[in-house]
Amino acid sequence: MKNSLKRATWRAVVLAASLCSFTPVSLAATQNITAEFRPDPGNPMVNKFTNTTPQSGVCPGHMPARCEALGIFSIRTWDVSFVASGPIEANHADPRKGLMFKVPSDWRSFEVVSSKGERSVVEMRISGVGSRFNTTNPPGVGGWTSLPVNWTYPPAPCQHTGMYAAGSTLRLWFWIVPEGAGACAIQTPFTVPTSNYSMLEYAYELRTPDPLAMESGQFTGSISYSIGPHKDFDFGDLYIPNDDVLTFNFTLNVEHNLKVDLPPGGNRIELLPEGGWQAWLNRGRQPSKLFRDQTFVISASTRFKMQLECSLAIGNTCGLRNGDGDEVPLQVGVTLPFGLRDQYGEAVSKLPLRLDGSGTELFQPGHYVNNRPASLHFAVERDDVKEMLKQPGSTYTGVVTVIWDSEV
């Protein structure tokens, strides 16, 4: 997890930037799922996690484009298998006594937690199922495909993928499972004395949190599904799994960017009246305000706060002092680019910076803001300018430190 932070000091009104057998055995098969977020300067409006889990099975090998369109990922594991405890009887009336498949296709939520204890919610569902069916008494390669409902074209609500691979004693298959689907079953018009599934293949779909609302760091969590008759992964009453739990361990990595760049010489600020001193002298009038707007460039994919520190504090803001010890307050404010809003969801325009941090406790990106211009505003107001002009030729100076801090 990386923050790109910079610190700069602006003097003479000065600014410093400081800127995730057949008896089930409880072996708890596991699958690690990883995803990451890194802001992409080329696509600043696309802010979501990228699944970095290695895929296997049907998606990379058979239908990568369709899986990408569906937003699903597939994994084939040989750690989970099923063996039939008895024969499939011909024309069985009870679907649970034959080839039946039910997976947890509804969305389930669980929490991922950072090392600092921040929590976010992830949702997951199983969106496809497949396996390798093996039998020593096959009907022949074409026998399975000639069924009224067969491996290639499954019964509703399951959907076909076109995956087809068969041998004299085996059949590989894979079906799409819509959200909230129940069981999908095949009836055989012939008896199958012995059979097994030598692996489990599944597709899954994720709903990940908004990474822009998460802190930088690593978030971890897990969700477990039961396996066996009348459980989450249910292959009917005949097929007994070698494991009764499948646990998914999640690791979400969040790498934010917070970067502030100042133009050359931007750390030295000279306060002037509007139009410069000569314009006011020519008119014989005293200026009503001394000010300077200093631009900077900001990149931010993370929430942050802004703080103010001063070499001289006057009330809740910074101050300037001349050689005689006379002091006047300096008002400091900030304007941020589109895409960065305050804690109330409002745009940030000339928002005052205070020593106690009030009002600038939280800024939140609505999308990745990449190298966008912003401004710091420095001003001495009318009444204080009058005090300064009582000492003509005097120079007032001070040091201001502005901090952009992602540790919110």
In the 3-class helix/strand/coil scheme, how is 166-229 assigned residue by residue? Answer: ECCCEEEEEEECCCCCCCEEECCCCCECCCEECCEEEEEEEECCCHHHCCCEEEEEEEEEEECC
Block residue for tokens 């509804």: 106
Q: Could you tell me which of 10, 3, 5, 7 has the C-alpha nearest to residue 376?
A: 10
Confidence (pLDDT) at 9: 32
- 326-330 contact pairs (CB < 8 A, 24+): 326/387, 326/388, 326/391, 326/394, 326/396, 328/380, 328/384, 328/385, 328/387, 328/388, 328/396, 329/380, 329/381, 329/384, 330/13, 330/378, 330/379, 330/380, 330/398, 330/400
Confidence (pLDDT) at 8: 30
Give every residue of the chain whose pLDDT is below 50, as ranges. 1-26
Confidence (pLDDT) at 146: 61
Phi, psi of 255 (to 5 degrees): -120, 100
- Measured between alpha carbons, how far is 206 from 107 in angstroms, rounded to an integer? 9
Confidence (pLDDT) at 143: 64
Largest CA distance in the chain: 109
Confidence (pLDDT) at 6: 34
Which amino acid does the sequence have at 243? Answer: D
Query: Which domains occur in the chain, in start order?
Result: 10-16+258-405 (2.60.40), 24-253 (no CATH)
- Measured between alpha carbons, how far is 244 from 23 in angstroms, rounded to an integer? 10
Q: Which helix (H) or strand (E) element contains residue 56? A: none
**DSSP, res 321:** E
Confidence (pLDDT) at 26: 47
Q: Where are the alpha helices (DSSP H) in 53-140?
A: 58-61, 64-70
Confidence (pLDDT) at 74: 97
- Measured between alpha carbons, how far is 232 from 174 in angstroms, rounded to an integer? 18
Q: What is the pTM of this model?
A: 0.83
| Residue 375 CB burial class (10 angstroms; 0-12, 13-18, ≥19) | middle
Cβ-based neighbours of 185, under 8 Å, separated by 6 or more: 95, 96, 98, 99, 100, 101, 155, 236
